[in-house]
Structure 1
Amino acid sequence: MGEPVVAFSLFTDYDIMLFRSGKHYKLYEKLGSRTAQVDGVHGVYFAVWAPNANYVSIIGDFNGWNSASHPLKVRWDESGIWEGFIPTLENGTAYKYHIGTSSGEQLEKADPFAIRTEVPPRTASIVDTTWYTWEDNDWMGKRQAHNALDKPISVYEMHLGSWMRDANEPDRFLNYREIAARLVPYIQEMGFTHVEFMPVMEHPYYPSWGYQITGYFACSSRYGSPQDFMHLIEALHQADIGVILDWVPSHFPGDAHGLYKFDGTHLFEHADPKKGYHPDWKSYIFNYGRNEIKSFLISNALFWLDLYHVDGLRVDAVASMLYLDYSRNYGEWETNEFGGNENLEAVAFLKEFNEAVYTHFPDVQTIAEESTSWAGVSRPTYQGGLGFGMKWMMGWMHDTLSYFKEDPINRKYAHDKMTFATVYGFHENFMLPFSHDEVVYGKKSMLYKMPGDDWQRVANLRTLYLYMFTFLGTKLLFMGGEFGQTAEWNVDQSLDWHLLEYAPHQGVKKLVASLNALYKSEPALYEKAFSPEGFEWIEMGDRDQGVFVYLRKGHDRENDLVVVLNLTPVVRSQFRIGVPQEGIWQPIFNSDEHDYYGSGISATASKSEKIHWMHRDHSIAIDLPPLAGVVYKQKQTKTKKVKRIN
């Protein structure tokens, strides 16, 4: 029958009280499996929440998957936690929970708190440790400055399995350490401040991109061990690069070994299919009104921030959580107690999640992917908001791409799409995203969304990126976009790195690296990124010529930048624009330079004249390159530095 299960517990009465009240935010220190010593005997302690089970045992390689040999004992306190200590077991042991349900079913479930799993398609959990000797103290001590909302935040979004493959083994995933050796110097070269990994949590179905999670506490074993993933994060931190994880508390799949009907009942998911089933993704929705589920999810968020030193969480599909009628037809949903369509339990959970994160880790950021006009997503909870640090600006993304896809001759009819964002752009702390969702399912790559011949496509893409980096908010760009990937993203293969053999793609890559450098070096682009004081239109109505002019402002007037976009393939000589003050205005960035595969039309310095233009007392006459953007800055004199009053 094997070694006996010994009565042993890591739980105190206080732990149980916190768990049942939804306030235990470090359940990863209690539930799951971990090596321990009991009365001098080494072994493994197991604890699992299965309140409606009749019988729970540990099955695994060590006992021939025999469900009778190692039963756990349920706690006396009605918490629904089953636990026990099995002597002689060690790290590396593969196991599952055998659960006998009240209806007579015999289930085999992976551990919801396992920190490691077998490599898919195998589904067992593995006893392991999160022990690691971190060497990123320098980063951790100063990351608050890197993550602050008045600092430059430029995010490189990537999928681990399809960013890069070994050229000699294209069907093999690089492991976390191999990725670190390639990724760190690449991000340093490109100048991004942060990397965002699409979900790394264990998911059985690879084509789900990681969004159908079964192992919320386990980094995917496809790429290595927990320590291997920690090494990747550490290597990025040592290079002063932050790490954001994509987090999915909105739904989970119905795989037999996963969370669905974990103890034979709707334990993790809402029992009512009108609240508990997601019709789009054919997955299941957490019961946000259940205290134990709040403890599970918030503990999971803090687990990655705590034990993996992660610097932020991008929360997926927030809109699907907020609305009871999200993607549902009439009759497929029910109102809340006040007759509205808001999911009040999900709203309360999101607020509590953000409060917990910022209380325990005030130097990180949470970012909402929220696609509606819900008010206050990135406002503090004490002001009635949801408490996120930032929100993806989906409206800007859709409007901007809709404008740029038009042939320049027709852009005047879409002109307002380029200006509408500033109507609502300061209601939230917005991040501008060109994400993975925009380069799949027939939407075309970023490059091939652009109109015109090959040169014009590249020129349009360069100008689009200059617009993003000089507009309001923070920035996010999905992998491949930085060098003009031609094909849509394919999760089953590497990016087309061979394109960098060609000048147009080299030019786009150099441009993005230069834009990151510009963004980080010019305070006007980030000091007031979320404030109307940091942005001002100079010309927003020139639809016939396709010219936009705007001002970016920081704390000091000497750092003001004037951005000019010419979104037609016409060179505009001696084009007059208004400027905020007199002086010599010189170009500090031109997307049409030869280095970027541009036409090389020179943008020269210009001394202002006292000619009233574009509602300004002073103006300059400049040459505008075709399908390009130019950034101007006033040449500094020896006069005393003047600070802005507002």
Structure 2
Amino acid sequence: ADPFGYYAEVRPATASRIWSLDGFTWTDREWMQSRSKNYNQPMSIYEVHLGSWKTRRGIKGAERFYSYDDLVDTLLPYVKQQGFTHIELLPLTEHPLDASWGYQVSGYFSATSRYGTPQQLMHFIDCCHREKIGVIMDFVPAHFIRDNYALSKFDGTYLYESADSSLRNSEWGTVFFDFTKSHVVSFLKSAVDFWLTCYHFDGIRYDAVSRLIYTCGQESRGINEAGLWFLRSTNYAMQTRHPSAMLIAEDSTNFLKVTAPVEYGGLGFDYKWDLGWMNDSLDYMMKRPDERPAFSKELTFSMDYFYKDIFLLPLSHDEVVHGKKTIIDKIYGS
């Protein structure tokens, strides 16, 4: 498959398709000119995986998925009715496995064909903007699938990844990018810019930032200097080219200045997920009422570090998978 391809065959087929991104007329100029990073405005984000939010019962294959056009008439009214200001879409970059929710990527410039064409995705985002709903996309800059039709050993050499297996293999069975290679940094930086420019996304949430801060995500193995360079150079470029778009880090480390500007030694993100608050709050709610007074620190501990970065308070998809129960079912007595 073409690493820079705009569109691909519907899985399980894997080839790129020749596709033009022309032919769609945006109507969201007013939105694009007035949008902001929402620092001083209410912001409530609905995180959703398009492939499982709703499906057609009794139908197998890609036909069971709601298309981008279908979601204009179903997802958008629901989000608006519930009072959310933004939709955060789990990765729409092309990927082979439905169960990965898009986090094991094969095409970094290709909007997944499961839900329709690139122009249909543009139409969905345009309609969201018409209803004053911002759209954020999850992006996976740390690793990619090892399947031989994608980026892995693309030209027969370790082109995008490291030749050192201790730096190459991730815990997810995927392959880490090698950020010491300038073409890798350029490739991913261009991909982030592509989604913000061509699809008018209002924000990008970087997945698994800890893997770019520390070598393979392990603090004991030291700082990933090349990964930090990628984050700083990319975020600085995006803050310059797309000053009203939000850059969000999913980061579980205590690394300092994640949301500080690059020119002040930071990583240049606008927001960071407060995963500590999420874990502590959910753990507290799982306790019996008579036990909770002894664990009140779990509700206040996040204030010890709350002003070190600019945080979003998440209730993440990671907390409702693999038998972890829904948020409501986690609460004692549910």
TM-score, normalized by the shorter chain, greater than 0.5: yes
1:347 pairs, out of 211, 219, 228, with: 228
Partner of 1:129: 20
Distance across 2 between alignment mates of 1:170 and 1:181 = 22
- CA separation of 1:128/1:318 partners in 2, compared to 1, >3 Å: closer, same or farther? same
2:252 touches 2:275 (CA, 8 Å); kept in 1?
yes
2:103 pairs, out of 178, 193, 211, with: 211
Partner of 1:154: 44
1:283 pairs, out of 164, 168, 174, with: 174
Distance across 2 between alignment mates of 1:168 and 1:182 = 19
Partner of 1:433: 314
Shift of residue 168, structure 1, vs aligned partner: 7.0
Partner of 1:247: 139
Shift of residue 167, structure 1, vs aligned partner: 5.3
Distance across 1 between alignment mates of 2:27 and 2:285 = 45
| 2:251 paired with 1:361 | no
Distance across 1 between alignment mates of 2:34 and 2:57 = 37
Quick one: which amino acid aligns to residue 404 of structure 1? M
Quick one: which amino acid aligns to residue 47 of structure 2? E
Quick one: which amino acid aligns to residue 166 of structure 1? R
Shift of residue 392, structure 1, vs aligned partner: 0.3
| 2:291 paired with 1:410 | yes
**Per the alignment, in what secondary structure is the counterpart of residue 367 of structure 1?**
strand
**Per the alignment, in what secondary structure is the counterpart of residue 125 of structure 1?**
coil
Which is greater in Rg? Answer: 1
Per chain length, whose mean CA-contact separation is higher, i.e. which structure has more relative contact order (CA < 8 Å, sep 6+)? 2
Distance across 2 between alignment mates of 1:374 and 1:178 = 41
Deviations, residues 446-505 of structure 1 (Å, cap 9, x unaligned): 1110112xxxx4xxxxxxxxxxxxxxxxxxxxxxxxxxxxxxxxxxxxxxxxxxxxxxxx
Quick one: which amino acid aligns to residue 206 of structure 1? D
Shift of residue 276, structure 1, vs aligned partner: 2.0
Distance across 2 between alignment mates of 1:441 and 1:213 = 21
Partner of 1:307: 198
1:221 pairs, out of 104, 107, 113, with: 113
Quick one: which amino acid aligns to residue 3 of structure 2? P
**Per the alignment, in what secondary structure is the counterpart of residue 185 of structure 2?**
helix
| 2:126 paired with 1:234 | yes
Partner of 1:119: 10
Quick one: which amino acid aligns to residue 272 of structure 1? D
Shift of residue 266, structure 1, vs aligned partner: 0.4
**Per the alignment, in what secondary structure is the counterpart of residue 35 of structure 2?**
helix
**Per the alignment, in what secondary structure is the counterpart of residue 153 of structure 1?**
coil
- CA separation of 1:294/1:448 partners in 2, compared to 1, >3 Å: closer, same or farther? same
How do 1:446-457 residues align onto structure 2 when only pairs under 5 Å count?
A: 446-452=327-333, 457=334
- CA separation of 1:435/1:362 partners in 2, compared to 1, >3 Å: closer, same or farther? same
Higher strand share: 1
User: What root-mean-square deviation, in Å, do the aligned CA atoms of Structure 1 and Structure 2 show?
Assistant: 1.4
Gaps of 5+ in 1: 1-109, 336-340, 458-646
Shift of residue 148, structure 1, vs aligned partner: 2.6
Partner of 1:460: none
Partner of 1:41: none
TM-score (norm 1): 0.50
Deviations, residues 185-232 of structure 1 (Å, cap 9, x unaligned): 111111101000000110011111101101111111011100011111
**Per the alignment, in what secondary structure is the counterpart of residue 279 of structure 2?**
helix
Partner of 1:189: 81
Query: In percent, how many aligned pairs have the same letter?
Result: 43
2:167 touches 2:216 (CA, 8 Å); kept in 1?
no
Gaps of 5+ in 2: none
Distance across 2 between alignment mates of 1:170 and 1:251 = 29
Shift of residue 326, structure 1, vs aligned partner: 2.7
Distance across 2 between alignment mates of 1:448 and 1:170 = 29
Deviations, residues 383-426 of structure 1 (Å, cap 9, x unaligned): 11111000000111111111111011110111111111111111
Distance across 1 between alignment mates of 2:258 and 2:70 = 37
Distance across 2 between alignment mates of 1:288 and 1:325 = 12
| 4+ runs deviating over 4 angstroms | 167-171
Distance across 1 between alignment mates of 2:21 and 2:213 = 34
| 2:45 paired with 1:164 | no
Quick one: which amino acid aligns to residue 79 of structure 2? I
